[in-house]
Every structure is written in structure tokens, then in C-alpha cells.
């Protein structure tokens, strides 16, 4: 990229805030519909910001060096995740929390999508993230340039999502891979269209998200997970476009700091919400105070994890 798009840092932090709100609403037994909306939209934006960054970088003729990329991911993703898992496993043993060693192994292999740990079900995200990275490497390796390819991949992912629901198997990963590939392959086009968005398109995006929020709030998607994932995925894609249009492309030390530890915040915050060692969502304060405490502790713990990871890398 010729210059850094600072607005993507702001968008990543906003997506992280959505995920924090999602899990707080979920584990404090507040409105589940609000949690579902923030979960679908926030996670999708998180994935798509990465797709946009890598797409802009590698669509300008730069070749993806697999060894360099993997080394960078080990430093940024693998090291903090393994340190976090070691700490969590030790805490399970100290507090005598029942857990599966097999699932611990799966999570060390970034296969948490297929084996949850107590208070850490959110690690499914890492399995899908690694799948997105593998997909990106394959798209680059085979030099996919067809104009129809992004749409074909996206349509196939929607089909696999629906089939997966019919068969009763987890299938959200298919849709995420489809959206990731679409934004990765069409990043320059997507950025250009977003930054030239008209006011009526912006209004349509706001109305789409209000409508989705209303439907989720009233639990109208509970019987159809594929419809929930598809609509919140579209909301995430459209909100990314809206924010690219209206968030100023300016740097901010605070946003840069939060963006720098965003992955670590994602790792540590969930167990603060869900337990089993601590559940701030159940503390005897009002929800605003509890949420603020959770955010502050997440930032502190994430900073510590980042520091340890950096020294260990």
C-alpha cells in the first residue's frame, strides 16, 4: 500500500467493542438478541478488516512470501495464543476446573472450533482465522484474477452455509471464508466504492442494520441460524463500507495502542465475562460499571500478554 489507511485501525477497535458488548450481554443474561447482533456483525468486521488490509497489499503486484507471512503470524498470533493457553490450563489445574486435555491439544493446534474449553469458547475464532489465511495463500498461489471468482466463491459459501444447517453441522466458517475471499479479491474496488458512497446508500446501510438489530432483538432468527449469519454478515460488510466512507483517515495514539493489543484483548476478555475463575458480568454493580471494569481489566491483561509475547518471540 502506498499509504496507511488509519480508518481501518478505528474500524478494528469498533469491531472489538462490538465483540466485548456481545459477550457482556450474553453472560450477564441481558437481551440475547443484542448479543447475537453484535456477535455476527463484530466478528465479521474483524475478519474483513484483515481481508481488506491484505487485499490492498497483495493486489498491487506484491507477491505474498509464505515464509515471511507465516513467521509474522507466529509472532502476532501463535505466540500470544500459546502463552494464553498455558496460563489458562494452569489456572484450570489450580482451581480444579474440569476440562479436556484433548480439547487443550486441539486449541494449541488452532482447532478450537471443534473443541471448546471452559470459559474460552471464543477460541473458535482462531480456527476460522487460520482457514482465512490458508485461503488467502491459495488465492495468491493460483493467481486468481477472474472477475467472476469473488462472486462464485461467495455464492458457494452461502450454499455451504445452508447445507451445513440442514445437516446440523457448524457452518458459519464457510460464510466467513466467502466474505473474506470477496473482500480480499476486490479490496481496491471495495475501497473505491466505499469512499465514493452516496448519501442514499449510507441511509440504506443504516436502515439495513436497524432492521437486522430489530429482528435479532425480537429473536426472529433463532430458528434459522443460516439466515442470522447471512444477514449479520451482510450488515458487517455494509458497515465496513460505511465506516470507510465516514471515519476520518487520521492517526490516533490511543487507537493505535488499542489496535496493537486488539488480538490480546480478544483472547483475555472472554473468561472475564464467562468465568470459570471470574465473572465480572455477575458482580453486584450496575451493568455500566461492570462493563467498564471488564474493559479496563481486559486492556491491562492484554498489555501484559503482549509484553510477555514480545519478549518470548
Residue 1 has what pLDDT? 44
Domain positions in the chain are 7-312
197, pLDDT greater than 70: yes
Alpha-carbon gap, residue 116 to 10, rounded angstroms = 30
Alpha-carbon gap, residue 127 to 118, rounded angstroms = 17
Lowest-confidence pick of 40-54, 61-75, 203-217, 263-277: 61-75
Alpha-carbon gap, residue 185 to 175, rounded angstroms = 15
292, pLDDT greater than 50: yes
Is the overall model pTM greater than 0.95, yes or no? no
183, pLDDT greater than 90: yes
Taking residues 127-155, what's their average pLDDT? 91
Higher-pLDDT residue of 90, 167: 90
Residue 307 has what pLDDT? 95
Crossing angle of the two packed helices 79-94 and 101-108, in degrees rounded to 10: 170
Residue 222 has what pLDDT? 67
Alpha-carbon gap, residue 186 to 58, rounded angstroms = 11
Residue from 221, 141, 152, 236 nearest 190 by CA? 236
Q: How far out from the chain centre does Cα 274 lie? A: 18
> Mind listing the pLDDT tens digit for each residue in 79-115?
999 999 999 999 999 999 999 999 999 999 999 999 9
31, pLDDT greater than 80: no
Residue 32, preceding peptide bond in cis (omega within 30° of 0): no
Alpha-carbon gap, residue 193 to 29, rounded angstroms = 40
Taking residues 243-263, what's their average pLDDT? 94
Taking residues 183-208, what's their average pLDDT? 95
Residue 60 has what pLDDT? 61
Taking residues 232-254, what's their average pLDDT? 94
Residue from 244, 221, 245 nearest 233 by CA? 221
* Residue 221's pLDDT band (cuts 50, 70, 90): confident
Question: Interior CA angle at 277 toward 274 and 280, to 5°?
Answer: 50
* Residue 251's pLDDT band (cuts 50, 70, 90): confident
Amino acid at each position: 500500500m502506498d499509504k496507511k489507511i488509519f480508518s481501518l485501525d478505528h474500524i478494528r477497535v469498533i469491531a472489538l467493542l462490538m465483540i466485548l458488548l456481545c459477550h457482556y450481554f450474553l453472560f450477564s443474561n441481558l437481551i440475547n438478541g443484542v448479543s447475537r447482533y453484535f456477535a455476527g456483525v463484530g466478528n465479521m468486521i474483524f475478519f474483513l478488516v484483515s481481508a481488506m488490509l491484505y487485499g490492498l497489499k497483495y493486489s498491487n503486484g506484491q507477491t505474498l512470501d509464505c515464509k515471511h507471512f507465516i513467521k509474522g503470524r507466529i509472532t502476532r498470533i501463535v505466540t500470544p495464543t500459546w502463552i494464553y493457553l498455558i496460563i489458562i490450563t494452569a489456572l484450570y489445574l489450580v482451581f480444579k476446573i474440569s476440562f479436556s486435555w484433548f480439547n487443550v491439544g486441539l486449541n494449541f493446534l488452532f482447532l478450537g472450533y471443534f473443541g471448546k474449553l471452559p470459559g474460552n469458547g471464543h477460541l473458535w475464532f482462531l480456527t476460522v482465522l487460520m482457514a482465512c489465511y490458508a485461503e488467502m495463500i491459495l488465492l495468491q498461489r493460483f493467481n486468481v484474477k477472474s472477475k467472476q471468482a469473488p462472486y462464485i466463491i461467495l455464492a458457494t459459501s452461502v450454499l455451504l452455509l445452508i447445507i451445513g444447517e440442514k445437516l446440523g453441522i457448524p457452518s458459519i466458517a464457510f460464510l466467513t471464508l466467502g466474505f473474506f475471499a470477496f473482500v480480499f479479491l476486490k479490496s481496491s474496488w471495495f475501497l473505491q466504492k466505499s469512499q465514493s458512497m452516496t448519501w442514499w446508500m449510507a441511509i440504506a446501510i443504516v436502515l439495513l442494520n436497524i432492521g437486522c438489530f430489530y429482528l435479532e432483538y425480537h429473536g426472529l432468527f433463532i430458528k434459522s441460524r443460516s439466515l442470522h449469519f447471512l444477514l449479520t454478515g451482510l450488515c458487517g460488510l455494509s458497515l465496513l463500507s460505511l465506516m470507510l466512507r465516514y471515519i476520518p483517515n487520521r492517526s490516533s495514539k490511543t487507537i493505535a495502542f488499542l489496535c496493537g493489543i486488539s488480538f490480546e484483548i480478544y483472547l483475555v476478555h472472554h473468561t472475564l465475562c464467562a468465568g470459570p475463575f471470574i465473572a465480572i458480568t455477575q458482580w453486584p454493580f450496575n451493568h455500566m460499571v461492570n462493563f467498564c471494569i471488564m474493559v479496563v481489566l481486559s486492556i491491562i491483561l492484554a498489555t501484559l500478554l503482549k509484553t510477555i509475547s514480545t519478549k518470548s518471540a
